[in-house]
Structure 1
Amino acid sequence: MKHKQKHHTVYFSGELFSQKHLIGNAYLAEAIYEKSHGRFLCVLPQNIEHGKSSSRAARDRDIKELLECDLALFNFEGTAVDSDTLAAFMIAKFADIPAVVLRSDTRGDAWTAMAGFFPRTVKVVVDSPGLYKTSMKRRRIAAIDEIVRLAGQHSSVYAQLMCEQIAQACVRALDRAIKTKPRMPKHLCEEVYSWLALMPGFKGKEKVLRKHISRILENKIDRDLL
């Protein structure tokens, strides 16, 4: 009997190197949860507890989290896509995970042909500076004194309104992505996921790794994700 899922987990992949990245990731993830009425639960790699583990152990944990999630959201920002985000995107496509690729950066198109045209992938492109300026105009306080703006936290309100619009676009895209049919043929699922247990070179016993990835596959099949 198939299990009907009330909510879906979304691996949220993006840069993690500055306070702007961390704040932006957290804010957008929470806005997506709110705008989807709890249907999409973003898993933030920055919130995954790695303790004092090595970079390899942290990488292993992040890949397993990605494979366990129902969907994935990838932030393709900047003049060049973050290498960790791009690597996670490719693993998601190997696993036939429905994905949304977000770009809110107006500095040209950072995608290359090799990162485009993959199935079960929905592209969201938004003009974040434009949305921010529109939020200012709607509140009709663009010309207020900077002291008043800072003391009244007006700029954070503009950013909040901008983020909410981006989140709404992401929710629509996630809804489209989750409805896409699996690209991977049923008879190949077991073989592909067996390979995914080996391909990253996870540290640990092969038998245990295969069993863990096999459970992930069974869960996805049970909920019609594959």
Structure 2
Amino acid sequence: MDDFLRVYFAGDLFNHKDLVGNLLLAEAIGEKSDGRFQCVLPQNMEQTTGRSIDIRNQDLLEVMRADLLLLNFDGTELDSGTVVEFIYAKSLDIPCVILRSDFRSGGDEEMGGNPWNLMCSGYPRTEVMTLNGMAWYQESYRSTDSTNAALDQLYQKLAVEVIARMEDVLKSPPLLPEDPAKAREIYRWGLSYPGRGVENLLSDSELDQLISTKRNKTS
């Protein structure tokens, strides 16, 4: 479908568990949404050079291109790259869904608050989904004798819940100015402040097209 929403999937991708889990959830989201939400996995993007700064720049550009972000906030300490991508998305008024399946608590918020550093909480156009990943896994594992069936059940269930949060956050009114020139100014600043070549990745005409396309898909 041509009007699918581009979802940047941010999170850990440094071991086989992260890589496989990211892939299974991304595919389940695409399937359960009938292709409406298509996840962009950084782990699947080809790196054109071996320079780490180019990897950073490519990821920031994909965040900017996204209609929505899905962020994995698992772990006793949040992945620093994921936090940077979250704040970058917020500076561009991109809707976000934060997913935490880690049942461990942490952070410095008041009782009943989010289980992470309070500086990552309270941003507009952001939905938070927390769950006990161990409990969900055991429920699926005990319901079937097949590993594949258990994984399918787990990720299909998770995808349905994530999709519901995505639909909810898309209903929140945008903060980005309606004036195309003002919107382009904000996006141009978003390309400028990271430095190190990001400012050269999109022309003004490409920015105008990107902003227009996003608005047409989510209006």
Determine the structure 2 residue equivalent to 1:194: 188
Q: Find the structure with the greater CA-based Rg.
A: 1
SS in 1 for 2:192: coil
Per-residue deviation, 1:52 = 3.2
Determine which structure has greater relative contact order: mean sequence separation of CA pairs < 8 Å that are 6+ residues apart, divided by chain length: 1
Structure 1 residue runs of 5 or longer lacking an equivalent are 142-153
Assess if the C-alpha contact under 8 Å between 2:29 and 2:160 holds in 1.
Answer: yes
Q: Percent identity?
A: 34
Determine the structure 2 residue equivalent to 1:162: 154
Q: Please tell me the residue identity of whatever aligns with 1:91.
A: Y
Q: Which runs of 4+ in 1 moved over 6 A?
A: none
Mean CA deviation greater in 40-49 or 173-182: 173-182
User: Mapping of 1:112-191 within 5 angstroms?
Assistant: 112-139=117-144, 154-187=146-179, 188-191=182-185
Change (3 A) 1:32 1:190: same
Q: TM-score, normalised by structure 2?
A: 0.86
User: Mapping of 1:25-104 within 5 angstroms?
Assistant: 25-104=22-101
**CA offsets 1:16-72 (integer angstroms, 9 cap, x no match):** 110111101001000111111111000000111004331101111111111111111
Change (3 A) 1:204 1:98: closer
Determine the structure 1 residue equivalent to 2:109: none
Q: TM-score, normalised by structure 1?
A: 0.84
**CA offsets 1:119-159 (integer angstroms, 9 cap, x no match):** 111111121110111123333x5xxxxxxxxxxxx334323
Number of residue equivalences: 209
SS in 1 for 2:99: strand
Structure 2 residue runs of 5 or longer lacking an equivalent are 107-114
Per-residue deviation, 1:224 = 4.8
Over aligned residue pairs, what C-alpha RMSD do you find?
A: 2.2
